[in-house]
């Protein structure tokens, strides 16, 4: 499969031919950076882990050139950081038994260019080749511009594909902003307590990001534990680890649905819940 950038590529941990590895994919995650998938889409990895009938593939859209660096990596050039981050992502794909991992190798600036057609065209090619059942991406209330841009390019790609290539479910998940604020009726709740050792390893292999003191491994496990414990105040915990998702499926099924207005609906219901409780108890 040919992509726009010369540095793009596909890694298949078990050595299957790339086309076959894409075609068998049932669960897909599309993320901005190396490590985002392991933080936000562990549910998809878990659904497919150790299974013959379900397969997970990751897509990382950017090249990692702009990554922060410290400690062992403080003096690395942008080129060296790209190599390190790609190697770390391959380690995670191997540990997580991914069917394949696709590196699209774009700069952040290219992803944020709303008029640039190439990211959308690359995503269309990948999705048409696999017709996944479920796609995980960034949520549209995330506070990182590149994350939101990736989610918007993905929605555009899916809207431009024939309906039979579109997945049954598209979920926006948590990295640079949790989704605890969503009203409980609006949350998609993923129970991810299984294989906690694998969950920790998947985030832990991204040493270049953790080395500077940002303990994404501990923070990610902590968020999942906090989500599970603080989900319901009057019952015992149903799960020891939860990830929240924002359902993006309606935006993919209805090309005319306004994206900003759809997200605003979640914010409006959140506001109504809080002001309604204060009014009731005053
Ligand atoms: Zn990221």
88-127 pLDDT, tens per residue?
A: 999 999 999 999 999 999 999 999 999 999 999 999 999 9
The rounded Å distance from CA 138 to ligand 1 centre is 9
The rounded Å distance from CA 36 to ligand 1 centre is 5
Answer whether residue 184 shows pLDDT above 80. yes
| Confidence at residue 211, expressed as pLDDT on a 0 to 100 scale | 86
196-228 pLDDT, tens per residue?
A: 999 999 999 999 999 878 999 999 999 999 999
Q: Could you tell me the pLDDT band of residue 65, with boundaries at 50, 70 and 90?
A: confident
| Confidence at residue 112, expressed as pLDDT on a 0 to 100 scale | 97
The rounded Å distance from CA 62 to ligand 1 centre is 9
Per the model's pLDDT, the better-predicted residue between 66 and 261 turns out to be 261
Could you tell me if 147 and 176 are in contact, meaning their C-beta atoms sit under 8 angstroms apart?
Answer: yes
The rounded Å distance from CA 150 to ligand 1 centre is 10
Q: Give the chain's mean pLDDT.
A: 96
The rounded Å distance from CA 136 to ligand 1 centre is 14
- Compute the average pLDDT of residues 181-203: 97
The rounded Å distance from CA 273 to ligand 1 centre is 30
The rounded Å distance from CA 277 to ligand 1 centre is 35
4-26 pLDDT, tens per residue?
A: 999 999 999 999 999 999 999 99
Q: Could you tell me the pLDDT band of residue 233, with boundaries at 50, 70 and 90?
A: confident
The rounded Å distance from CA 280 to ligand 1 centre is 40
The rounded Å distance from CA 81 to ligand 1 centre is 15
The rounded Å distance from CA 31 to ligand 1 centre is 7
pTM of the model: 0.97
Q: Which residue has the tokens 């906690």?
A: 196
Lowest mean pLDDT segment, chosen from 61-70, 140-149, 163-172: 61-70
- Compute the average pLDDT of residues 31-45: 98
The rounded Å distance from CA 25 to ligand 1 centre is 23
Q: Could you tell me the pLDDT band of residue 67, with boundaries at 50, 70 and 90?
A: confident
The rounded Å distance from CA 275 to ligand 1 centre is 33
């Amino acid at each position: 499969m040919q992509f726009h950038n010369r540095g793009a590529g596909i890694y298949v941990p078990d050595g299957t031919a790339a086309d076959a590895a894409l075609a068998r994919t049932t669960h897909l995650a599309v993320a901005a950076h190396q490590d985002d998938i392991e933080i936000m889409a562990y549910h998809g990895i878990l659904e497919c882990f150790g299974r013959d009938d379900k397969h997970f593939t990751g897509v990382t859209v950017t090249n990692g050139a702009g990554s922060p660096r410290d400690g062992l990596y403080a003096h690395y050039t942008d080129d060296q950081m790209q190599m390190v981050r790609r190697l770390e992502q391959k380690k995670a794909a191997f540990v997580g038994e991914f069917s394949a991992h696709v590196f699209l190798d774009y700069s952040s600036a290219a992803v944020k260019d709303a008029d640039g057609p190439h990211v959308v065209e690359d995503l269309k090619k990948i999705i048409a080749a696999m017709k996944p059942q479920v796609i995980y991406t960034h949520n549209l209330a995330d506070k990182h511009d590149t994350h939101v841009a990736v989610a918007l390019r993905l929605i555009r790609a899916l809207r431009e594909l024939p309906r039979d290539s579109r997945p049954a479910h598209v979920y926006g998940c948590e990295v640079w902003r949790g989704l605890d604020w969503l009203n409980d009726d609006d949350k998609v709740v993923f129970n991810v307590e299984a294989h906690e050792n694998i969950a920790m390893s998947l985030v832990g292999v991204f040493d270049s990001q953790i080395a500077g003191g940002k303990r994404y491994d501990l923070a990610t496990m902590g968020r999942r534990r906090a989500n599970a414990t603080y989900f319901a105040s009057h019952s015992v915990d149903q799960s020891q680890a939860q990830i929240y998702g924002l359902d993006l499926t309606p935006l993919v099924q209805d090309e005319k649905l306004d994206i900003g207005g759809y997200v605003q609906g979640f914010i409006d219901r959140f506001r109504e819940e809080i002001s309604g409780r204060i009014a009731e108890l005053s």
